[in-house]
Amino acid sequence: MQRFSDKYIITKDMEWEDLGGGVSRKFLGYDNQIMMVQVKFEKGALGSPHKHFHTQATYCAAGKFEFEIDGVKQIVEAGDGVYIEPNLLHSAVCLEAGILIDTFSPVREDFLTGDGVSYFGDKK
């Protein structure tokens, strides 16, 4: 990770973290109020149904996904954005290999500590 200063970080050289189940991620930036995460999915990978108190906005950078949010299914493709209210049950199935950019508020402390339940299967 390159630093311009203590405040500005470039993450292009960060390693991908294997989350298992055909999913990996890397952090793009965060503080205590907001977090942006790049998540790479192989075709068929699943983000199991889950909910959290964080506000989430997701941008589909590549690929095709079927999202289910609060019981409603929708196809999401490259260029689409999705807003997920706090505490709504949601999931995603990757239909064509792709990348999602997830933004959360506040920061996902469980992602940083590794204490959270994996939504993607067991790590290898």
- Cα separation, 59 vs 49, whole angstroms: 19
Output the pLDDT for position 1.
Answer: 44
11-25 pLDDT, tens digit per residue, is 677 789 999 999 999
Instruction: For residue 55, count other CB atoms closer than 10 A to its CB.
Output: 15
Q: Is residue 80 part of a domain?
A: yes
| Two structure tokens written together for 88 | 């709504």
Which residue in 91, 59, 89, 90 sits closest to 77, CA to CA? 59
Range of the domain at 52: 18-38+48-107
107-122 pLDDT, tens digit per residue, is 999 888 887 667 776 5
Q: Is residue 61 part of a domain?
A: yes
Given pLDDT bands bounded at 50, 70 and 90, which one contains residue 100? very high
Report the number of distinct structural domains present in the chain. 1
